[in-house]
Amino acid sequence: MLGVKKTTLILAAIVGILLGITVANTFAQESRPNTKILSTTIEIGERPLWRKILRGAARVVTLGMVQAATDTLKQGQPFSFAFDHNGIDTDGYQIFINTAAVATIPVTALVNGTVTHPFPQGLQKGTYVFTATAFGPGGDSAQSLPLNLSVTAGNPSAPGQGRIIK
């Protein structure tokens, strides 16, 4: 049989994980407003110890759950990078690839809550991390969640017409 301390710690960990999932879902919902996430509300007694345990567990679970999106393209394949934003207090956006600013886009590029920027030449083989920031009268926003892009070797072109040589 488990002791009171072990039972309390196990229960706190379970509740902390559930609360952490709720916190992570709320974070994801705020950073990606078009995402639909179901969450559960957990009510706990007024004990300060419980609050400290749950806050700590929620932070740990939240940090572990926020992950970058990933995608794959062929070398040289044209594509567009897109992200959602509300446009409030915004003059424009910057797109970063591997921490280097590669494009500055005016807020007028925001259409129906989405900003899209084309890369018609594609990219060379390699791994890239895309992020975006908004800028306005109050300064720059935090960077968006990263998108990891893996660019693989393209398919070779087809051989020319076959022929007989005499």
**Same domain as 79, residue 50:** no
* 141 vs 16 pLDDT, higher one: 141
What's the domain count of the chain?
2
**Same domain as 98, residue 58:** no
* pLDDT higher than threshold 80 for residue 35: no
Count the neighbouring beta carbons within 10 Å of the beta carbon of residue 70. 11
**Same domain as 104, residue 81:** yes
Q: In the sheet where 110-111 sits, what is the strand order?
A: 79-84, 114-119, 110-111
Q: Which of 17, 36, 65 is the last residue of a domain?
A: 65
Task: Please state the pTM of the whole predicted model.
Answer: 0.56
